[in-house]
Amino acid sequence: MSDQIQIIETLTNYFNKKDFVGMINYSNLKIELDGLNYILFGARGKAYIELEEFDKAIIDITRALELNPKYALGFYNRGFCYYSKDEYDFAISDFVKAKLLNNELTSIDFYLGGCYFFNGNYEKSIELFSNHLLDYDDEVALQWRAEIYNLTKQFKKANIDIAKLLLNEVQNIDRFKKINEIEKVKHTIPKENNKLFSISDYGFHNLKDEKCSGIYILEFSNNEYYIGQAKKIQVRIKQHLKKHNDILNIYFKQTIEDLLLLEENTTIAIFESKGLRIRNLKQIDFLNVFNNVHQEKWVSDLTYNTLTGSKFNNDEVRNKFKDRYLKLKEKLYFEEIINLLRKYIKSAIPNYLASEFNYWNITCLPKYLKKSNCITRININSVPVLSVFEEPDNSLTFMLYVSKVPYLKHLKQNNDSFQLLSENIPSLRLDLRIEFQEKTEGDEIIVLTNQEDFKNALENELITSSIRLFNLRMMNKTGKEEKHRRAVSHCLDLSDKILEE
Task: Give the model confidence (pLDDT) of 63-93 as tens digits.
Answer: 999 999 999 999 999 999 999 999 999 999 9
For residue 387, what are the β-bridge partners?
377, 399
Q: How many CB atoms lie within 10 A of CB 198?
A: 8
Return the percentage of the chain with pLDDT > 90, whole number: 62
Residue 137 exposed, middle or buried by CB count within 10 Å (0-12, 13-18, 19+): exposed
Supply the pLDDT for residue 141: 96
The sheet that has 205-206: what strands, in order across it?
A: 205-206, 247-254, 214-220, 224-230, 277-278
Supply the pLDDT for residue 20: 93
- Residue 384 near residue 391, CB atoms below 8 Å: no
Looking at CATH, the fold of the domain delimited by 3-174 is given as 1.25.40
Q: How confident is the model over 231-255, as a mean pLDDT? A: 90
Instruction: Look at residues 154, 168, 143, 157 and name the one whose alpha carbon lies nearest to residue 431.
Output: 143
Supply the pLDDT for residue 175: 62
Residue 143 exposed, middle or buried by CB count within 10 Å (0-12, 13-18, 19+): middle
Supply the pLDDT for residue 104: 86
Q: How confident is the model over 334-349, as a mean pLDDT? A: 96
DSSP code string of 39-61: HHHHHHHHHHHHTT-HHHHHHHH
Lowest average pLDDT, out of 37-41, 72-76, 328-332, 483-487, goes to 483-487
pLDDT of residue 484 exceeding 70, the answer is no
Cα–Cα dist 383/403, whole Å: 13
Q: What is the mean pLDDT of the chain?
A: 89
Whether 3-174 and 199-284 share one fold: the answer is: no
Return the percentage of the chain with pLDDT > 70, whole number: 92
The domain ranges of the chain are 3-174, 199-284, 292-499
Supply the pLDDT for residue 223: 87
pLDDT digits (tens, 9 = 90+) for 386-402: 999 999 988 999 999 99
Domain 199-284 has CATH 1.25.40: no
Residue 79 CB partners (closer than 8 Å, separation 6+)? 90, 91, 92, 93, 94, 95, 98, 111
Cα–Cα dist 429/400, whole Å: 10
Supply the pLDDT for residue 201: 84
pLDDT digits (tens, 9 = 90+) for 100-154: 999 889 899 999 999 999 999 999 999 999 999 999 999 999 999 999 999 999 9
pLDDT digits (tens, 9 = 90+) for 258-299: 999 889 988 988 888 888 888 877 657 899 889 999 999 999
pLDDT band for position 184 (cuts 50, 70, 90): very low
Residue 239 CB partners (closer than 8 Å, separation 6+)? none
Cα–Cα dist 395/397, whole Å: 7
pLDDT digits (tens, 9 = 90+) for 6-21: 888 998 998 999 999 9
Separation of CA 284 from chain center: 22
pLDDT of residue 165 exceeding 80, the answer is yes
Cα–Cα dist 321/497, whole Å: 14
Supply the pLDDT for residue 174: 66
